[in-house]
Amino acid sequence: MIRIRQIKVIVTNNSEEVIKEKIAKRLKIKSNEILDYKINKEAIDARKSNEIFYVYEVDVILKNEEYILNNIKDKDIFKTPNEEYIFPKMGVAKLNHKPIIVGSGPAGLFAAYLLSEMGYKPLIIERGKMVDDRLKSVEEFWQTGKLNLESNVQFGEGGAGTFSDGKLNTLIKDKEHIGKKIMDIFIENGAPKDIAYVHNPHIGTDLLRDVIKNIRQKIINQGGIFRYNTKLTDIIIENNKITKIVVNDKEIIDCDILILAIGHSARDTIKMLYDNGLKMQPKAFAIGVRIMHEQDMINTNQYGKFKDYLPNASYKLTYTTTKGRGVYSFCMCPGGYVINASSELNCLAINGMSLHSRDSGVANSAIVVNFNPNDLNMDVLSSIEYQRKLESFAYKLGNGNIPLQRWEDYKKNKPTTALGKLHPMVKGKYLLTNIRESLPDFINEALLEAIPYFGTKIKGFDDNDTLLAIIESRTSSPITILRDENKVASIQGIYPVGEGAGYAGGITSAAIDGIKTAEVIIKKYHN
């Protein structure tokens, strides 16, 4: 195959025939000489409002590929490289017991997927429920406020990303083509095929649930075992090595390999591990609000007259305050919902979520402010406690509901008593109030400075009727579980992975970390 980069097609006419004509023109051949082609990458070039293009990278099959390559001198035309994932070679050390994986979020699932493909038959324990039962718990919580502490937006099969936009983009360099392997696994298990090439791929929470079930079944078919409603409650260590784990406070399971894919909200598990001597440290994270706008306003700003030809637009915004604090948009959800993502009693945390169609009509994004626990000499547990304290304030302010405020009222530091032209799209109940009352001064100061600046980048961003909700506190784990170059923690046999351990920031990066950790285990041990 021949790879061609920079195939530009105006968004109003991007049919297969037009793309094929563009390919033929670049290769200086006739369209009927193209046997087949596939899109490898697709991006949108919206730098000029009067002409917006899809920009494609394509792989083309021809009869005379060598001739073409020898006669066309163009840095954007070359032989398609081999991007196949190469499975690791198995090691020689003996495993006495099945590898145990704690957590079935993306890090745990993809570690389990690779291990099961290689014949290791891992045991996956998950404190929450299977995804369908978990959905029932979450919807009951949104409707009634009754929180299931082990089955909620944070805990259960699929991890926190199950109730999100299902974004799959990552900034990780991927020389080993692990990211491609992950996309292939998603597609094989029911995800849309376009996630393999679109610039900002996403699945959507509704489709992701079925994909997760299919991945689970594949792992089971390959010898993996899942146990739900099974919580890691203690570890047993001998000579600084894991030998057993305790689940549900009573059952003891022999263990010599423990992959910790616990997620960023397993605060009780983190404390147990910390108390058992596992070395960890606080790390910087971000805290802030969810901001809501009419999706059409975002589309108009990003795409102008071409908005009807393109999918709902997203955005990325950054700002540094006069005091040097970073403020940025995070986890932007086009056509999505703000959701109550709480996992502890008397504490309230929120997140953003979209269906695959992204058709709610309201865009939302976190606007968060950087926070470094080291500035206040916080240790691991006090860093977590600070998150919890802010969530407790939000819970009290909203009486268990999501506190919501118009931007105009936020600026004036007065409670919102009536909505304006924007109707919030929220999963869970909300309460109109004054959110400034429960936010730290450094966040209020940063938002009051940053949001008007963002209004200079996206017209209408700081409209009076723009809505703010709190609190966005689970942007990432507040701690890092230390590990060496072989991904082993301070206690031998323990492998901390993914977001909860501080080594990932999204579905794909967590999945990559899970696969890389599984590779380390495979290279050392045989099944």
Report whether 465 contacts 294 (CB < 8 A): no
CATH fold for the domain made of 93-281+479-526:
FAD/NAD(P)-binding domain (3.50.50)
Give the tens place of pLDDT for each residue, 356-388.
999 999 999 999 999 998 888 899 999 999 999
Nearest to 514 by CA among 30, 43, 227, 101: 101
* CA 366 from centroid of its chain's CA atoms: 13
Question: Is the predicted pLDDT of residue 509 greater than 90, yes or no?
Answer: yes
Percentage of the chain beyond pLDDT 70 is: 100
pLDDT of residue 527: 85
Question: Is the predicted pLDDT of residue 321 greater than 80, yes or no?
Answer: yes
Give the tens place of pLDDT for each residue, 129-146.
999 999 999 999 999 999
pLDDT of residue 131: 97
Distance CA(57)–CA(197), nearest Å, equals 9
CATH 3.40.50.300 fits 2-79, yes or no: no
- CATH topology identical between 2-79 and 93-281+479-526: no
Question: Is the predicted pLDDT of residue 165 greater than 90, yes or no?
Answer: no
Task: Calculate ∠ Cα 43-286-44, nearest 5°.
Answer: 5
Distance CA(312)–CA(245), nearest Å, equals 47
Question: What's the token pair of residue 293?
Answer: 């706008």
Give the tens place of pLDDT for each residue, 242-273.
999 999 999 999 999 999 999 999 999 999 99
Rg (C-alpha) for the chain, rounded Å, is 24
Domain ranges of the chain: 2-79, 93-281+479-526, 284-472
Give the tens place of pLDDT for each residue, 454-505.
999 999 999 999 999 999 999 999 999 999 999 999 999 999 999 999 999 8
Q: DSSP per residue over 110-155, as a string? A: HHHHHHHHTT---EEE-SS--HHHHHHHHHHHHHH----TTSSSSS
Segment 50-54 shows an average pLDDT of 92
Distance CA(492)–CA(16), nearest Å, equals 54
Average pLDDT of every residue of the chain:
95
Give the tens place of pLDDT for each residue, 203-220.
999 999 999 999 999 999
Q: Among the residues of 198-341, which ranges form H helices?
A: 205-221, 267-275, 295-303
Instruction: State if pTM tops 0.85.
Output: yes
